[in-house]
Each structure stands twice: as structure tokens, then as C-alpha cells.
Amino acid sequence: MLATLLIGLREGLEAALVIGVLLAYVRKLGRRDAARKIWLGVAAAILLSLVLGAVLTFGAYGLSFTAQEAIGGILSLVAVGMVTWMVFWMLRMSRGISAELRGQVDRALGIGAGAEGDARGGAGWGLAAVGFVTVAREGIETALFIWATTRSSDISPLVGFAVAVSGILIAAVIGWALFRGLLRIDLSVFFRWSGVLLIVFAAGVLAYAIHDLQEAGFLPGPFAAAPVGASAFVAGWYGDAAWAFRIPEIIPPDGVLGVLLKGTVGFSPEMTKLEVIAWALYLVITLPLFLVRSYAGRRTQRKETVK
């Protein structure tokens, strides 16, 4: 539930900031007609995200167990990839996002070089596409990650959806307060530490994706027998030898500690070697890289401020 709340809050805040910048700029240009087109794009993107969420939640019924596990594993990998890309993208864009968005608005309205310079010259339908793409990207990431996290933690999809919507509503209020000047927060700090938490959550989703693909028979694991004539090394990834550890008698999977660990860091009392390797490699590579880039960007921003 913490993961779904955070993804709803973070993705919602990203979308709120982008849409807020777009609306503020077109109103400054006196283009309220363009603002309506932005909202049309937002509405279409929300509808698309809801449809995707419904398909993910209810579309698997009637499929075989193997198909469900295979689809679940593949889509969980996609969710991990999208969330990882998102935290790095926001880290890179957070300082210059306003200027880039103003450039997109100018191009959509036909303002600037090569145009007549009239703010009322363009129809503004390009802004509907900008609003749609912005919210759709965040909405698709949210739908995929919520679906993947609820699968990995056995939370009801409806409960996960309700918690994520709560996060999105909180983000909308924060975004409104920021642009009204009622609230001041260090967005770079927020995106840095929320990014760290999402990377930790994504590592758990990745481990569960590996587990799904092992159950589907796409990867070697404890649910399949080793090929005939396999070497000792290959056989060590099949059957009982594929388990890294099995300690349900020490940490019950349905106990408070087991549920908490699985829902946060992705730890399960029963994990295979491939799950542990994937989980550890993802964290060891992704988390330090994210922190290094985050603090490097912070130092650059300080130098620019001093100048």
C-alpha cells in the first residue's frame, strides 16, 4: 500500500506540475481556448489509463495458469523498466522542465521564429496532444506499477487503485497549492528521495517478475526439472537446488514482518537464486547511479545559482 500511495503521489505530482506550467503559460498568453484543449487531452489520457488498468486487472481471467504467470512476469518487467526510466528522466528534467514546456507551447501555437509572433495565430490542438501524452505517460506507468505491486504483495487490485487515487488527489492538491503560492517545498529533494524509495520497490517487483517467469517455465527454477544430461552447474538452477533460501518457519509469509518486508524491499521468506541475483544486481547498479547523478545535478545547480 505504501508503494501504491507513493507511485500515485509521485506520478500525480509530476503530471500536476507539467499541466500547471502549461495552463499558467497559455493563460499568460491570453489563450483560454488553448487551456480547454489541454484539459481535453488530460481527460482522454485519464480515460486511457483507466481502461488499461481494467484490462490488466480483469483481462487475465480465463487464461491458463502458465499464460497468466508469463504475462504477469513480462508486464512486471515492463513496469520496472518504465519506473526506472521515469525516476532518471525526472531527475534530469526537473531543473529545466518549465523552459522546455514553454517551447512546446510556442511551437503548438505557432509562436516564435518562422511564425508571425501572434499568440492567437495557432489553433492550439497540439497542446491537447501535449497534455494527453504527459498524463498518459504518467497514467500508464501508474497503472502498470500498481498492477505489478498488488500482484507481488497480494493486495486487492481495487484496494491498490483506491490507495493510488488517494496519492493522486494529494498530488493534485499539492500542485494547486504550489502554483497558488500557498505551499513551498523543495521539489528536487522530494523527487530524489521518492526516487530512492521507488527504486527499492521496483527491485521487489523485479524479483517477483522473475518468480512469475520461473513458474511459467520461461526461466529455470524450482518448478521444473533439469534437462536430461545437464551438468551440475545447470542442474543447480532447477528443482530444490534453485532455492536460495526457504525460511517460512522463521518469518511466516502471512505474518506482519513477512508482509511488511515483501511490500517494501521485496523480501520473501522463500526466494530462488535468480530472484535474489536479479534483486541485488538491480539495487547495486541502479541505486548508486541514481544517487550519484542526483547529487551531481545538485552541485551543478548550486554553482549556477552562485553565478
Q: Residue 16 sits in which domain range?
A: 2-306
- Residues facing residue 272 across a β-bridge: 243
Nearest to residue 11, comparing CAs of 166, 185, 225, 181? 166
Q: How far is CA 101 from CA 17, 20, 108, 116, 206, in A?
A: 11, 10, 10, 20, 33
Residue 106 contacts residue 112 (beta carbons within 8 Å): yes
Torsion over CA: 239, 240, 246, 249 (sign): positive
| Entry pTM | 0.75
Cell numbers 545559482 label which residue?
305
Written as tens digits, the pLDDT of the chain (307 aa) is 677 777 788 788 878 877 877 777 777 777 777 788 888 888 888 898 888 888 877 776 667 888 888 888 898 899 899 889 888 877 776 655 555 556 666 666 665 444 434 444 455 567 777 778 878 888 888 888 878 877 766 666 677 778 888 888 888 888 788 767 666 767 677 778 888 888 988 898 899 899 999 999 999 999 998 988 889 999 999 999 999 999 989 988 877 788 778 767 778 899 999 999 999 999 999 999 999 988 776 665 555 544 5
Total domain count for the chain? 1
